Structure 1
Amino acid sequence: MLDVSVQRRQGAFAVDAAFSSPAAGVTALFGRSGSGKTSVINMIAGLARPDAGRIALNGTPLFDSARRIDLPMEARRVGYVFQDGRLFPHMTVRANLTYGMRLVPAAQRVIGFDAVVGMLGIEPLLDRRPAKLSGGEKQRVAIGRALLTSPRLLLMDEPLAALDETRKGEVLPFVAGLPKEFAIPIVYVSHSLDEILKLADTLVLMNAGTAVAAGPVEDVVGRLHLSGALDAAEAGAVLTTVVEEHDAAHHLTLLRFPGGRIAVQRMDQPAGAQVRVRIRASEVGIALEPPRHSSFQNVFPARIVELAPPRDGQVDIRLDAAGAAVWARITSRACETMALEPGLIVHALVKSVALTRADVGRHSPVRADGEVHAP
C-alpha cells in the first residue's frame, strides 16, 4: 500500500494531494498538463521534498515532516522510468541494464537479469548503444534498467508520450505485463485515457495540484461532478465488459455487461476475455422508447441519475445501466422537449462505429496478492 499526503509550493503553483493506492497493480495519475502529476511522483521518488506531509510504502515512512523523516532516493528502493528514457549514451544496452543493479546489495536483488531481458524482448539489443535503438527499444531498456534495481515500487512518468503510435503499440503490452510478471506496484503518470484504459487498476484524478478523486478506473471516470477536470471531448464513462462472441460477417465483436450488450469493431480477443470500453458522452443519445427502426446497434435501458446544469446549450446526463455509469451529452433543447428528469427510465443509444479500437482494451485486474484475476 502506498499512502501519499503531501503539500508543496512551487512558485505560484501549489500541490496539496492525498491518496492511497493498492499494494499491487497499476495506479494511474491522470489529469491535464500542469495538474501536478509529475510533481507528486517526484516527491514519492525523493527528487523533490514536500513542504509538509507524509509518504509511506507498505507502512514504512519514506517522508514524514512531523517525524522529520526524509529518506534519500537511493534508500527508498523506488524505480523511476522517465519520459525520455535517459540511457547512458556511451554504454551498451547490457551496461545500462546492469548499472543500477550493481549498486543494489546482492541480498536485495530479487529480479534476475535473464527474466527482465526475456520479458522485455531485448536480448538482441544487448550489445548495441542507445544511438542504434528506436524510441520504443530505448523505453524498453529504460524499463529494464529500473526493474533490475529490484524496486519495491516502480514510478513511470509518461513513458510513452514521446513515442509515435507504432512505438506505443510496441511498448504498451510490456508495461501491461509488468505487475503480473514481477508483482511490483506501479504508479503511472499519463494524460492519455487510452493508456489508462489498458493499464490501470486504480485511477487518481489530478486537477490544479489536487487529487480530486481516487478509486477504480470505472468509478472515477464515471463521476459526473468531476467532468471539469477532464477535457470536454474526453468526458464519458468506462465500462467493464466480457467478450461474448464475434460477428465475423459484419466485423463486429459483441461485449456483455450488466446493462446489456455492446457491439464494437472486431477485436482479436477470445470469448470470455475481460475488456474495458470507453464511451464518450458526446457519442450517447437518449430515447424515451426503444427505437423500432434505427441504425444504432447499441441500445440499452438506463435510469437518469443526475442532470448537470446546462452549459453552452448542452446538458450532461448521468445514467445508471444496471449499476454501470454511462454519460450522455445532448442539447438543452432536447432535454427540455423530452422533459428529462432524475428517475426517468430511458434508452441509451450508442453508434458502434463511434467505438474505435482505441476505445476498447483488454484488462485483467491484479489482486492484492499480485495474482491476475481472470473473469
Structure 2
Amino acid sequence: MSETDALELRLTRRIHADLTLDVELGIDRECGVIFGTSGAGKTTLLRLIAGLERPDRGRIQLGDTVLYDHEAGVDLRLRERRIGMIFQDDLLFPHLDVAANIQFGLKGEPRLRAKARMEEVAAFCGVRHLLERRPATLSGGERQRVGLARALAPRPRLLLCDEPVSALDLTSRHTLIERLRTIQQAEPIPILYVTHSPAEAIALGSRLFLLAKGQIIDRGPPLDVLAASGRAGLGRLEGVRNIFRTRVESHAEGGGETRLQLIDGPILVVPFYDRPPGTCLAVEIRGDEILLAKGPIEGLSARNVIGGTVDRIVAHGSEAEVIVHTGAIAWIVSVVASAVSALALAPGSDVHLIVKARSCLILDDELSSGSTD
C-alpha cells in the first residue's frame, strides 16, 4: 500500500446488546466497498472513521496521520481529519446557491484560488451549469452531484460514501457512479463506499468487504465475493451491469443507428441517438443481455459481434459470470453454469460477444458535459 494514501484501521465499537462492530481493513487509492444487509454496522463504521462517533478501542490511520488511537489517547476532531463525506441526504444549505455550497469548505482560501477550485470540482461532478441555482430547484441527482462537489472541494485525503444513490432513479444512480469513477482517475484518493446493491458494488469497487453482524466475513474482488456460495443470503446476482464510457463516432445515413467508440475498446452499434459526433456518453449493457459464442459467426440480426478473450469465470450455483476482455475493456457476461461446459470456456478461450443494439442503454451526455439531470 502507498505510505501516504492508505487507510488502515482496526476498531471495536459496541452498537447495542446484540451487535458489536469488530473490523480490520485497509485500502489504498482505490474504491473499497462495504457491503452488507441493513443492521450490519456499515453506517456506524463510516461514522467512526469520520470522527462523528468514537470507537471503544482500536486505531485508525490515514497515510502517516493517526486519526484515532485508543491506547495513545489520539482522537483528531472531524475538521482535522480531512475526510469528505456524502450521504443518502445531500445536506445542502438551502439559502446558498450551488457555487456557495461548493465553496463552503474552502473558507480561508484566497478568493481567486477558492473560485478556481470550485469551478474545477463543479466540472468534475457535472454541475458547472447549475452554479447560480438554489438546491430547491435541483433534481435529486443534481443535488447529490453538488454534494459530491462540496465534499471534494477542500481536497480530502479520503472520501466516505454512505449509500449516496439509494434515493435516486436509475439514470441518476448511474450518473453519480460514473462521476465517482471519473473523479478517482482525476484525483485518486481512497474511497470507502457503503451499499447493499450488487450492481453498484461490481460497477464501482475494486475490493469488497462483506460485513455481517459487525464483522467482515469475506473480502476480495466484488464479483468473486458476491458470487461465493451462501454468502449473506445471496443466490443469483441480479442486474449485473456493464457501464462503459464512449463517444459518438457517426450516424447511419438516414438515421436508424449510431456508432459509438468505446474508450479503449471496440465500436458499438446502438439505436439512433441524436447527438453530434464527438459527444461523450456512457452506455449500459446488462450482463444477461450479452450472448457468448465460439467459432465463425454468420447470419445474425444482432448488430454487434465483438471478438474477445475469456479472462476468468466466476461460478455460483447454477449461474456464472464470465469476464471477457476486448482490448482494455472487461465485460461481465451472465450465463447459466451449463453454458460454460457446453462452450468449453476457460481462461484464454477466444469468444465472440453478441450484443443487440436495443440492449444498449444510453446514459445521457450529462456524464461528461454537464447537461441537465
TM bracket, shorter-chain basis:
0.5 to 0.7
Equivalent residue, structure 2, for 1:247: 251
Distance in 2 (CA, whole Å) between partners of 1:341 and 1:6 is 39
Equivalent residue, structure 2, for 1:263: 269
Would the alpha carbon gap of residues 7 and 58 (structure 1) be closer, same or farther in structure 2, given more than 3 Å must change? closer
| 1:282 to 2:284 alignment | no
Would the alpha carbon gap of residues 115 and 180 (structure 1) be closer, same or farther in structure 2, given more than 3 Å must change? farther
Equivalent residue, structure 2, for 1:20: 27
Would the alpha carbon gap of residues 363 and 185 (structure 1) be closer, same or farther in structure 2, given more than 3 Å must change? farther
**For residue 335 of structure 2, what is the amino acid of its counterpart?**
I
1:353-372 correspondence runs (5 A): 353-358=358-363
Equivalent residue, structure 1, for 2:86: 81
Tell me the alpha carbon deviations over residues 50-108 of structure 1, each in whole angstroms, 9 at most, x when there is no partner: 4555433342121234544221213223343332233567xx32699589959x87379
TM-score of the aligned structures, taking structure 1 as reference length: 0.65
TM-score of the aligned structures, taking structure 2 as reference length: 0.65
CA RMSD of aligned residues (A): 5.0
Distance in 1 (CA, whole Å) between partners of 2:154 and 2:263 is 41
Equivalent residue, structure 2, for 1:187: 191
Q: How many residues align?
A: 343
> Gapped runs of 5+ residues in structure 2?
none
| 1:330 to 2:335 alignment | yes
After alignment, is 62-71 or 133-142 more displaced? Answer: 133-142
Tell me the alpha carbon deviations over residues 256-283 of structure 1, each in whole angstroms, 9 at most, x when there is no partner: 577744334556485496x765544322
- Residue among 210, 220, 242 paired with 2:216: 210
Would the alpha carbon gap of residues 307 and 197 (structure 1) be closer, same or farther in structure 2, given more than 3 Å must change? closer
**CA shift at 1:190, angstroms?**
5.6
**CA shift at 1:136, angstroms?**
5.6
Identity of aligned residues (%): 25
Tell me the alpha carbon deviations over residues 283-308 of structure 1, each in whole angstroms, 9 at most, x when there is no partner: 23222223210122222334445445
Distance in 2 (CA, whole Å) between partners of 1:122 and 1:242 is 24
**CA shift at 1:195, angstroms?**
7.3
After alignment, is 71-80 or 338-347 more displaced? Answer: 338-347
| 1:60 to 2:65 alignment | yes
**For residue 355 of structure 2, what is the amino acid of its counterpart?**
V
> Gapped runs of 5+ residues in structure 1?
215-219, 365-375
| 1:69 to 2:67 alignment | no
Equivalent residue, structure 2, for 1:293: 299
Task: Name the SS of the counterpart of 1:42 in structure 2.
Answer: helix
**CA shift at 1:21, angstroms?**
3.3
Would the alpha carbon gap of residues 86 and 353 (structure 1) be closer, same or farther in structure 2, given more than 3 Å must change? same
**CA shift at 1:232, angstroms?**
0.8
**CA shift at 1:359, angstroms?**
10
Would the alpha carbon gap of residues 8 and 277 (structure 1) be closer, same or farther in structure 2, given more than 3 Å must change? farther
Distance in 2 (CA, whole Å) between partners of 1:266 and 1:28 is 37
**CA shift at 1:185, angstroms?**
4.4
